[in-house]
Structure 1
Amino acid sequence: MPITKSTLPKKAKMLPPGVYTPVISLYTSTPTQEIDHSAMYAHAQYLVRGGMHGLVYQGTNGEAVLLSREEKKAVLRNARKAVTDLGVPDYPIVAGISGQSTNESIELAKDAEEAGASFALLLPPSFWAKSVTEDVLRGFYRDVADASGLPVICYNFPGVTSGIDLNSDDLTALADHPNIIATKLTCGNVGKLVRLTSTFSPDQFSVYGGSSDFLIPTLEAGGVGCVTGMGNVFPKSTARIYDLWISGKKDEARQLQEVVAHAEWACKKSLALTKFGAGHFLGKKLGLTDPKTFYPRRPYAPPNEKAQQWTVDVMSVLVEEEDSIAEKSFGKGQVNGTK
């Protein structure tokens, strides 16, 4: 029996397909760990030259809950300047707008639009998890999407939302909203992904995986990309999986997928290990030699020496591949369809 396809019209503005990095926040080594905007500028440009199809700020990897409202705006303005200076002023920048109230999320959406973001990424509210009924959950997304000048991406990550999970029924209902365009499934639920991709075309409602270790399964199932913390460390390799697959070189893509999946295991352990990995493998390339630049913001602590060595051992499988891939150059070219 065939699946009933959605008859929703195409959305006015969709998130371009591909691999996105949820960019880490980098700090000064001062006691209050101010945002190091020069470091983040250099990192942003490196990620774009590394082939990333878009950047995400103020998500989980960006430590959004540890940043002030003013810091979030400043980071987004800095990111937009970084890509504009590279020659790709319309490059996709996604901003996390997750708040615990509808009002807060709407304010963050307005801030993000004014600061130069292109799209908004929104977690469900979770402070009183038992009170987040189906009506509350869906109403929250619809109310924020009504007020947001940016298209909204539903971010599903039960691990940081007290177990609240946007199921396929919720996402199918929310896809009906003209300003809700996609979902990021950090839940890793491939069955949910298939239910959504078999119902909606990518121009009605797009589906992205929440990491690159299942990017090929995501693409084979009808998804259009992923958002991966691994991009902070090895952007060229992670973006290349998508590029190979979309160009029809699926065997090569699968071979690279296997290596990336092993390396990404470190990112799955903790954000502290992702940030350490970025500092260890990428810091010198960016001229960032102070390990404290890559520390989590307090009260969270950097990994101990044993965890650091384990991370180096696990991630090192990608070093040769990463170093073999040439950077992209921009100015008069295009990135992901943007001029």
Structure 2
Amino acid sequence: FNCSILIFFFCNRDTFSFYFRTGVALITPFKEDFSIDIDALKRIVNFSIDGGIEYLVVLGTTAENATLSQDEKELVIQTVIEVNAGRLPLVLGVGGNNTVKVVEELKTRDLSSFVAILSVSPYYNKPTQEGIYQHFKAVSEASPIPVILYNVPGRTASNMLPATVIRLANDFENIVAIKEAAGDMVQAMQLLKNKPKDFLVISGDDMIALPIVLAGGAGVISVIGQGFPKEFSEMIRLGLNRKVDEAYKSQYVLSDCIDMIFEQGNPAGIKEVFKILGISENVVRLPLVTVDESLANRLSVFVKNIDKNA
């Protein structure tokens, strides 16, 4: 696709939902010496694309972004851009708890290969709702491309409440969506009920992605989707097409594995899946550690038997 054309289209919220159904937050694969495994990253991108994923998120939380140097981040970005070769829309994670630094990155980084940024609510500082609003006001005004908000209170220690999200959606046209990962179906339904018509609510929780879609959500930014791209993306498409029974059949096949990949931390679980599939090693950087033998064995049984359970 022509990325500049897509950016033009995506500035109109109505067209955004056509492309943004199942996205995946890509891992950063490492070698045993903890350096970035570029060949594995290329395999993961191709595996996701070949499996039916509809867009890729680069340098999100699942990428272990906090442990990457600036040079490593650039290497990941350029590798994904090159191997993707314009096949899918790309979203870049640009966020943080220092508003000035986020704004500076948005003003100086070349974002021409990306259709949107994914920007996490400020973590650690524990801002008020007004502080969150003012942060994203500054992000909106600085960003040359559409903004997807990211609410993940389990990591940020503060919850971006629906009223704040709706206020931002109404006040800034280029804030086009939210990745909602509070794990709270009631909160998600409040967003869906009160949002502007063309604002997208994207699930950030794999386990409740289908219920959110069936309640009116636009899709998901997934972790498990990159390990099982065909199965997970088809589940979301079935949900969007209101084929409820078929969609839930897929949900119940995957649900045990969704629990398992988060049981001992993300991305240790999904990296173990890639190890079992022979796509990359399971190496994470401290303070994360790899899954234990028990979980590795359970994941192996699931992966090797998924076709039988489908």
TM over 0.5: yes
Judged with a 3 Å threshold, the aligned counterparts in structure 2 of structure 1 residues 37 and 13 are, in CA distance, closer, same or farther, namely farther
What residue in structure 1 maps to residue 174 of structure 2? 179
2:72 is aligned with what amino acid?
A: E
How far residue 119 of structure 1 moved from its aligned partner, in angstroms, is 1.2
How far residue 113 of structure 1 moved from its aligned partner, in angstroms, is 4.1
RMSD: 2.3
Matched, 1:92 2:86: no
How far residue 91 of structure 1 moved from its aligned partner, in angstroms, is 1.6
Judged with a 3 Å threshold, the aligned counterparts in structure 2 of structure 1 residues 319 and 148 are, in CA distance, closer, same or farther, namely same
1:187 alignment partner, SS class? coil
Matching of residues 135-154 of structure 1 within 5 Å? 135-154=130-149
2:119 is aligned with what amino acid?
A: L
Higher relative contact order (CA 8 A, sep 6+): 1
Deviations 1:175-209 (A, max 9, x none): 12111111111112211221222223552x10011
2:131 alignment partner, SS class? helix
The runs of 5 or more residues in structure 1 that have no matched partner are: 1-8, 323-339
How far residue 10 of structure 1 moved from its aligned partner, in angstroms, is 5.6
User: Which of 112, 123, 127 pairs up with 1:126?
Assistant: 123
How far residue 249 of structure 1 moved from its aligned partner, in angstroms, is 3.0
Contact 1:212–1:260, Cα closer than 8 Å, also in 2: no
2:100 is aligned with what amino acid?
A: N
User: Which of 193, 199, 215 pairs up with 2:188?
Assistant: 193
Matched, 1:232 2:264: no
Matching of residues 1-339 of structure 1 within 5 Å? 11=13, 14=16, 16-30=19-33, 33-84=34-85, 89=86, 91-110=88-107, 113-114=110-111, 116-129=113-126, 132-161=127-156, 163-176=157-170, 177-200=172-195, 203=198, 205-269=199-263, 270-271=265-266, 272-280=268-276, 282-283=277-278, 286=279, 288=280, 291=281, 294-314=282-302, 318-320=306-308
Contact 1:76–1:115, Cα closer than 8 Å, also in 2: no
How far apart in 1 are the matches of 2:104 and 2:309? Answer: 42
How far apart in 2 are the matches of 1:316 and 1:59? Answer: 28
1:256 alignment partner, SS class? helix
What residue in structure 1 maps to residue 5 of structure 2? none
* Count of residues paired in the alignment: 296
How far apart in 2 are the matches of 1:218 and 1:265? Answer: 18
Deviations 1:88-120 (A, max 9, x none): x16211111122211222244356643722211
2:177 alignment partner, SS class? strand
* TM-score w.r.t. length of structure 2: 0.87
How far apart in 1 are the matches of 2:123 and 2:210? Answer: 31
How far apart in 2 are the matches of 1:105 and 1:320? Answer: 46
How far residue 320 of structure 1 moved from its aligned partner, in angstroms, is 3.8
Contact 2:176–2:200, Cα closer than 8 Å, also in 1: yes
Judged with a 3 Å threshold, the aligned counterparts in structure 2 of structure 1 residues 83 and 112 are, in CA distance, closer, same or farther, namely farther
What residue in structure 1 maps to residue 7 of structure 2? none
How far residue 316 of structure 1 moved from its aligned partner, in angstroms, is 5.1
How far residue 218 of structure 1 moved from its aligned partner, in angstroms, is 0.8
The runs of 5 or more residues in structure 2 that have no matched partner are: 1-10
Judged with a 3 Å threshold, the aligned counterparts in structure 2 of structure 1 residues 191 and 305 are, in CA distance, closer, same or farther, namely same
How far apart in 1 are the matches of 2:111 and 2:145? Answer: 10
Contact 2:214–2:242, Cα closer than 8 Å, also in 1: no
What residue in structure 2 maps to residue 6 of structure 1? none
How far apart in 2 are the matches of 1:106 and 1:315? Answer: 42
How far residue 312 of structure 1 moved from its aligned partner, in angstroms, is 2.7
